[in-house]
């Protein structure tokens, strides 16, 4: 039986430590364990953030990383907003390239890829620092070979929740584990009560995002999604999909959306909807559930617009078409 997504890791990771007001020289260590003092700041006060990006095997045998610069910038932003030690972006970029290059032979053939997980944690042993940042930390980069996150012909059931909150409204743009943990109770309830695959949180000024992905609506020739603000994660895949949508002639609208408008548009015959993120790229939605009523999105099946944009993005990532955007970095 194939292992679950993200549970199989390459033998080593690359790591650097911030101690004495400076970063150590990055080094390769075993990826199966990590030594932490039980009083480490991260274990008590959640001083942690991470990123998710992918490397892809191309037909010529090279392995290239997708939009690494944007993930590194977001990682630095998350670290800064959590008051973790300042990240050296150039060093982190080199760490990512080095660890992917070291294990490039383990990068799966398409449609698989190498999932990359940079992580920053506060390590100072000081449980008295509930109201102060960690003066010590470590950054490490894990790799896990992965396949498709969802089946190609699967559509999702999505519960629109206009009462629950994924996270604190001003922390949504930070990629920190606490935001994902706080969403779990809502997702578990949605699965148990509605057999939903995910929850779209709509209580902070309308639609924000699900527990782990951005939301995009395709209605005719218009692509709609929430405008960027502090309440949700600024997805790199989201930005990439919108860029390609504009190039294909779609009208892209970024503005506030209410749950009521979303379910109203969902019933249009040519409507499609999807979740966008690094793991799934674009995952189509077939059913929406709102206030105990179910709504079929368009035909209820995987639609041509989502399929077209997902293929366009995959073709760039897998080197099947020219990268005109400078999105790929060779490892």
Task: Examine residue 109 and state whether it is found in any structural domain, yes or no.
Answer: yes
Q: Are 22 and 138 in contact (CB under 8 A)?
A: no
Task: Examine residue 6 and state whether it is found in any structural domain, yes or no.
Answer: no
Domain termination site, one of 109, 124, 146: 146
How confident is the model at residue 5, as a pLDDT? 87
How confident is the model at residue 150, as a pLDDT? 66
142/187 same-domain check: no
Q: How many domains, the chain?
A: 2
How confident is the model at residue 6, as a pLDDT? 87
How confident is the model at residue 1, as a pLDDT? 43
163/141 same-domain check: no
Task: Examine residue 327 and state whether it is found in any structural domain, yes or no.
Answer: no
Task: Examine residue 312 and state whether it is found in any structural domain, yes or no.
Answer: yes
Question: Cα(260)–Cα(253) distance, rounded to whole angstroms?
Answer: 17
104/203 same-domain check: no
238/281 same-domain check: yes
- Which of 134, 119, 118 lies closest to 44 in space, CA to CA? 134
Q: Which pair of tokens denotes residue 135?
A: 């003066």
172/130 same-domain check: no
Q: Are 174 and 49 in contact (CB under 8 A)?
A: yes
* Residue the block writes with tokens 């009560």: 193
Question: Cα(193)–Cα(296) distance, rounded to whole angstroms?
Answer: 18
Task: Examine residue 119 and state whether it is found in any structural domain, yes or no.
Answer: yes
81/185 same-domain check: no
47/167 same-domain check: no
174/293 same-domain check: yes
CATH code for the domain of 27: 3.30.470.10
184/95 same-domain check: no
Task: Examine residue 244 and state whether it is found in any structural domain, yes or no.
Answer: yes
Domain termination site, one of 97, 125, 146: 146
Task: Examine residue 326 and state whether it is found in any structural domain, yes or no.
Answer: no
CATH code for the domain of 232: 3.20.10.10
Domain termination site, one of 119, 146, 173: 146
Specify burial of residue 198 (Cβ count, 10 A radius: 0-12, 13-18, 19+).
Answer: buried
Give the predicted TM-score (pTM) of the model: 0.96
Q: Which pair of tokens denotes residue 244?
A: 């390609």
* Residue the block writes with tokens 């559509």: 155
Along the 331 residues of the chain, how does pLDDT read in single tens digits?
457 888 999 999 999 999 999 999 999 999 999 999 999 999 999 999 999 999 999 999 999 999 999 999 999 999 999 999 999 999 999 999 999 999 999 999 999 999 999 999 999 999 999 999 999 999 999 999 998 776 667 899 999 999 999 999 889 999 999 999 999 999 999 999 999 999 999 987 799 999 999 999 999 999 999 999 999 999 999 999 999 999 999 999 999 999 999 999 999 999 999 999 998 899 999 999 999 999 999 999 999 999 999 999 999 999 999 999 999 999 9
133/169 same-domain check: no
Segments forming the whole domain that contains residue 107: 12-146
233/276 same-domain check: yes
92/174 same-domain check: no
Task: Examine residue 3 and state whether it is found in any structural domain, yes or no.
Answer: no
């Amino acid at each position: 039986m194939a292992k679950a997504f993200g549970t199989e890791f390459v033998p080593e990771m690359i790591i650097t430590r911030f101690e004495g007001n400076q970063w150590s020289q990055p080094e390769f260590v075993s990826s199966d364990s990590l030594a932490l003092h039980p009083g480490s700041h991260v274990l008590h006060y959640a001083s942690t953030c991470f990123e998710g990006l992918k490397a892809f095997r191309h037909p010529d045998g090279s392995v290239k990383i997708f939009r690494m610069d944007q993930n590194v910038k977001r990682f630095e932003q998350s670290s800064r907003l959590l008051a973790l030690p300042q990240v050296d972006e150039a060093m982190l970029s080199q760490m990512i390239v080095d660890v992917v290059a070291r294990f490039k032979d383990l990068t799966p053939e398409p449609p698989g890829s190498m999932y990359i997980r940079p992580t920053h944690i506060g390590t100072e042993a000081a449980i008295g620092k509930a109201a102060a940042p960690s003066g010590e930390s470590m950054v490490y980069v894990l790799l896990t070979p992965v396949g498709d996150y969802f089946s190609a012909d699967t559509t999702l059931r999505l519960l629109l929740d206009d009462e629950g909150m994924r996270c604190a409204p001003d922390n949504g743009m930070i990629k920190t584990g606490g935001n994902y943990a706080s969403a779990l109770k809502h997702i578990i309830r949605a699965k148990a009560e509605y057999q939903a695959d995910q929850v779209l949180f709509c209580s902070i000024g309308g639609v924000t995002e699900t527990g782990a992905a951005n939301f995009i609506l395709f209605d005719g020739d218009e692509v709609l999604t929430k405008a960027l603000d502090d309440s949700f994660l600024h997805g790199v895949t989201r930005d990439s999909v919108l860029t390609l949508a504009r190039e294909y002639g779609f009208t892209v609208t970024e503005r506030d959306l209410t749950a009521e408008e979303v379910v109203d548009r969902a019933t249009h015959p040519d409507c499609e909807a999807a979740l966008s993120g690094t793991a799934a790229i674009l995952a189509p939605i077939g059913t929406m559930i709102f206030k105990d009523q179910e709504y079929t999105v368009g035909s209820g099946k995987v639609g041509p617009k989502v399929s077209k944009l997902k293929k366009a993005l995959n073709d760039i990532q897998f080197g099947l078409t020219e990268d005109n955007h400078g999105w790929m970095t060779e490892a």
